[in-house]
């Protein structure tokens, strides 16, 4: 059984913390991706060890000690490969995924190529290719080692992707597929029985929920429709600058997000009401936020 050491980059706090953007922290996202990657790898027959199991974990107190400890744990465990998971950051305009290794020749280069091949295919992020660097976790490990920059946490679109369960799931699947390809093993996803069982449970839950709603509303559902629609419109929130946001509000909100006046929550959600959209738009057209 091959041994895969997964290193969710950085620490929860202290000297070795990562980048941040729109409410997301690199040290948190790296763990959340790793937590999805681990069961995927185990399902495909790999033995897995992680430097950080939970978001609040710290590997060591100092920066140098933190980097050394990760490599030492992988070396002491006798890992066959080492994969460090990170989020990139630059100037808010850079975007995409890339994978680092010390040298593109040899086993580390082969591993990096295999993982990077699946990253853009699976995630839809821009392919920035395989790059080389002498990062401490790559030079101090005694096995083929890579560092995966999944996306740019300070880029709005990449950040929105990283802030979703499905986005992190796709990152994990891409890394798992690349590792399977490197070792020459067939990638196994959920079995047909598991998928059917999952679909049945989801459908049953949906039907149960619908039955409950129908039973509670009963014959008054049509009479209350207009009132309910009005309440829904009042409660509606706009989390992202996308097709769901009214076109008239997009320029103003885009400007506020780009300038950092509007910051999302920890998942990158803006949580704006239509009244807020109108207020920001009026203020923008009045020139309050500059060019």
Q: Pick one of 3.40.50.720, 3.40.50.261, 3.40.630.40, 3.40.630.30 as the CATH number of 3-183.
A: 3.40.630.40
Q: Quote the CA–CA distance of 128 and 94 in Å, as a whole number.
A: 10
Band of pLDDT at residue 68, cut at 50, 70 and 90 = very high
- pLDDT for the residue 197: 66
User: Cβ(27)–Cβ(17) under 8 Å?
Assistant: yes
> Structure tokens of 159?
């950040």
First to last CA, the chain: 59
Scan for tokens 């409950």, then name that residue.
212
Instruction: Tell which wins on pLDDT, 102 or 224.
Output: 102
Residue 149 among the catalytic residues: yes
User: Cβ(28)–Cβ(57) under 8 Å?
Assistant: no
Degrees to nearest 5, angle at CA 62 with 14 and 60: 85
Q: Quote the CA–CA distance of 280 and 288 in Å, as a whole number.
A: 9
Helix, coil or strand: residue 272:
strand
Helix, coil or strand: residue 14:
coil
* Predicted confidence (pLDDT) per residue in 126-184, tens digit: 999 999 999 999 999 999 999 999 999 999 999 999 999 999 999 999 999 999 999 99
Helices and strands (H and E) in the chain: how many: 10, 8
Neighbours of 288 (CB within 10 A): 10
Q: Quote the CA–CA distance of 99 and 191 in Å, as a whole number.
A: 29
Neighbours of 112 (CB within 10 A): 30
Q: Which residues, 6+ apart, have CB-to-CB distance to 50 below 8 Å?
A: 5, 6, 7, 8, 34, 38
Percent over 90 (pLDDT), the chain: 64
Q: Quote the CA–CA distance of 19 and 28 in Å, as a whole number.
A: 10
Name the pairing type of β-strands 97-101 and 145-152.
antiparallel
pTM of the complete model:
0.67
Name the pairing type of β-strands 20-21 and 3-8.
unpaired
Q: Where along the chain do the CATH 3.40.630.40 domains lie?
A: 3-183
Q: Is 177 exposed, middle or buried (0-12, 13-18, 19+ CB in 10 A)?
A: buried
Q: Quote the CA–CA distance of 65 and 116 in Å, as a whole number.
A: 28
- pLDDT for the residue 217: 73
User: Cβ(125)–Cβ(95) under 8 Å?
Assistant: yes
- pLDDT for the residue 230: 64
* pLDDT of 247 strictly over 70: yes
User: Cβ(109)–Cβ(101) under 8 Å?
Assistant: yes
User: Cβ(77)–Cβ(139) under 8 Å?
Assistant: no
Band of pLDDT at residue 190, cut at 50, 70 and 90 = low
149, 194, 227, 243: the catalytic one is: 149
- Give one word for 157, left, alpha or beta, with left for phi > 0 and alpha for psi -120 to 50: alpha
* Predicted confidence (pLDDT) per residue in 164-178, tens digit: 999 999 999 999 999
> Structure tokens of 17?
């913390």
């Amino acid at each position: 059984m091959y041994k895969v050491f997964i290193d969710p980059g950085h620490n929860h706090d202290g000297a070795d913390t990562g980048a941040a953007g729109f409410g997301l922290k690199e040290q948190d996202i790296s763990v959340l991706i790793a937590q999805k990657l681990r069961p995927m790898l185990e399902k495909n027959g790999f033995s897995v060890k992680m430097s950080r199991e939970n978001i609040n974990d710290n590997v060591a107190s100092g920066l140098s000690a933190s980097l050394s400890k990760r490599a030492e744990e992988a070396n002491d465990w006798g890992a066959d490969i080492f994969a460090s998971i990170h989020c990139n950051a630059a100037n808010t305009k850079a975007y995409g995924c890339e994978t680092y290794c010390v040298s593109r020749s040899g086993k580390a280069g082969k591993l990096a190529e295999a993982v990077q091949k699946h990253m853009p295919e699976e995630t839809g992020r821009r392919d920035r290719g395989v790059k080389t660097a002498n990062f401490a976790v790559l030079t101090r490990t005694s096995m083929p080692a890579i560092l995966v920059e999944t996306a740019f946490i300070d880029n709005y679109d990449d950040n929105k992707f990283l802030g979703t369960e499905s986005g992190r799931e796709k990152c994990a699947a891409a890394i798992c597929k690349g590792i399977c390809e490197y070792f020459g093993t067939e990638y196994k996803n959920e079995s047909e029985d598991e998928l059917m069982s999952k679909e049945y449970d989801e459908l049953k839950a949906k039907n149960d929920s619908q039955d409950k709603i129908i039973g509670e509303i009963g014959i008054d559902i049509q009479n209350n429709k207009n009132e309910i629609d009005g309440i829904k419109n009042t409660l509606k929130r706009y989390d992202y600058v996308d097709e769901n946001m009214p076109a008239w509000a997009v320029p103003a909100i885009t400007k506020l997000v780009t300038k950092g006046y509007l910051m999302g929550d920890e998942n990158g959600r803006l949580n704006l009401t239509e009244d807020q959209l109108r207020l920001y738009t009026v203020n923008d057209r009045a020139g309050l936020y500059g060019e």
